[in-house]
Amino acid sequence: MSNGYHNGNYRGGNKAPRRMGGYGGSNSTSNGHFGNRNNQNSKSSAGTNLRKPNWNFESLKPFKKDFYVPHNNVQGRHPREVDIFRQENQITLKGEKVPNPIQHFEEGNFPDYVMEGIRKQGFNEPTAIQAQGWPIAMSGQNMVGIAQTGSGKTLGYILPAIVHINSQQPLNRGDGPIALILAPTRELAQQIQTVANDFGSLSYVRNTCIFGGAPKGSQARDLERGVEICIATPGRLIDFLERGTTNLRRCTYLVLDEADRMLDMGFEPQIRKIIEQIRPDRQVLMWSATWPKEVRNLAEEYLTNYTQLNIGSLTLAANHNILQIVDVCQEHEKESKLGNLLQEIGNVNEDGGKTIIFVETKKKVENITRNIRRYGWPAVCMHGDKSQQERDHVLREFRNNKGSILVATDVAARGLDVDDVKYVINFDYPSSSEDYIHRIGRTGRSNCTGTSYAFFTPQNGRQAKDLINVLKEANQVVNPKLSELADRSGNYGSRNRWGYSSRGRENMFSAKHKRFDMGRSFDYSS
């Protein structure tokens, strides 16, 4: 692959331009972490040295962002056929002049280099979020996309980003990125970079991935050499902006991925500081698995005339491919129940599926891992105090089946994409039902099936109604003990947040049961 820009400006078409400095830069992802747990005080003070540009006095060069040419098949479809497709794929929309969804990759009218990447990946057809999201994004519209983790949203914004970039003026020395993708955690940022690498390499679009907890040198060199796509966690990007390592004067395509998670982690002040550095006529795509008030407020403030795209229900819901099993028990019973459950899973898990056990504290992660190993199960663990090298090693062990059980805090609840996770166990029920949705979403990915278990104690009672709503929406049987807890805990009520709509069966397990049968509901009275 040769280095250097083409002479002259790229004018679009199907041939991808060559760009300066080769592709990819140094591979800063090798130093990855899972979480982005910056100190809260530093979050609130981040970006204090950044000056907000007065865009009214800036000379902004026009740029193109509408590249969508509807395929004849898409334009010619009868409105009723379009409505049926949207209903079958649970697509709901809010906005004006929303283009019809595509149903096949060929209908996207992508350049040849994009289609080559799609063929190389072996994809059969677009996911729902891609089918409807691509025409919106390629039309240059601002968009809010609400869809489950694992629904194909990363490709939903990467491909339009590449087409957007290849239709802009080439970068000059000192220019910052054209596309900026903000993500809440290092692990998610690294996974986004994997997709960007797969497709960007074919079009000579360079990227870098910057995040805290890793050396700044290689990340800074990538930015200084120039990259078209910057994938970043907010804290490290703010640091580089304050140092003058990069800038966002050329940024015209902004993605906020897992916006709800970024707000939950306290990144709102940093997000606002970053957006202030980007020209106001930018295109913005905001992606979220839930739709809480805080995310709605951010969208209303920074996205003008946006289209809202929902895949599934707007109520709190779980993936349909996951069988949810809830055990109402006392706190002191959980350890013995976990041992029995792992024994039962081992008896039926002949295909080598992986298991993730979620707990609340780092100390408990270590204790449970030690106890599991004592009984002969190959377990590894992950939490915020693990060093960078330890986390990378643990992830490799888990992915390579050398440790088929991962015990973790919520650092692994989002952005962890590991194949063959068949079981998720919530040893400690999380502090919010949204986190429950994301935890169990580590299984049942890419249309596979999975099973989740949760130990639900009276101390979790205030969340019982939310959980019941999740189970009912998924057509699962609700444990009467859970209903009793909900009644005793008062009218807590479900919030209008979105995970992903799903369907499955509810099962119940107990340490008393000698058999484990995936297809049979246990007797709640036992």
Q: In this predicted structure, what is the pLDDT of residue 384? A: 74
**pLDDT over threshold 70, residue 153:** yes
Q: In this predicted structure, what is the pLDDT of residue 22? A: 37
Residue 518 CB: number of other CB atoms within 10 A? Answer: 12
Cβ atoms of 499 and 318 closer than 8 Å = yes
Structural domains of the chain, with CATH:
72-311 (3.40.50.300), 322-490 (3.40.50.300)
Q: In this predicted structure, what is the pLDDT of residue 448? A: 83
**pLDDT over threshold 70, residue 491:** no
What is the band of 441 on the pLDDT scale with cuts at 50, 70, 90?
confident
Of 68-72, 148-152, 189-193, 323-327, the least confident? 148-152
How is residue 346 written in tokens?
């081992």
Span 335-344, pLDDT tens digits: 999 999 998 8
What is the band of 79 on the pLDDT scale with cuts at 50, 70, 90?
very high
Of 31-35, 276-280, 374-378, 452-456, the least confident? 31-35
Span 395-435, pLDDT tens digits: 888 888 777 899 998 877 766 678 789 999 999 999 887 78
Exposure string of 109-126, with b = 16+ CB inside 10 Å and e = fewer, is: bbbebbbebbeeeeeeeb
Percent of the chain at pLDDT above 70?
81
- Whole-structure pTM value: 0.66
Average pLDDT, the chain: 81
What is the band of 242 on the pLDDT scale with cuts at 50, 70, 90?
very high
**pLDDT over threshold 90, residue 255:** yes
Burial class, 196, CB count within 10 angstroms (exposed 0-12 / middle 13-18 / buried 19+):
buried
Q: Where are the beta strands (DSSP E) in 107-206?
A: 143-146, 179-182
Q: In this predicted structure, what is the pLDDT of residue 490? A: 63
Give kind and range of the element (H or E) at residue 506.
strand 506-507
Between 217 and 12, the more confident residue is: 217
What is the band of 288 on the pLDDT scale with cuts at 50, 70, 90?
confident
Average pLDDT of the segment spanning 153-157? 93
Average pLDDT of the segment spanning 12-35? 41
Give kind and range of the element (H or E) at residue 346.
helix 334-348
Span 198-239, pLDDT tens digits: 888 888 899 999 999 889 999 999 999 999 999 999 999 999
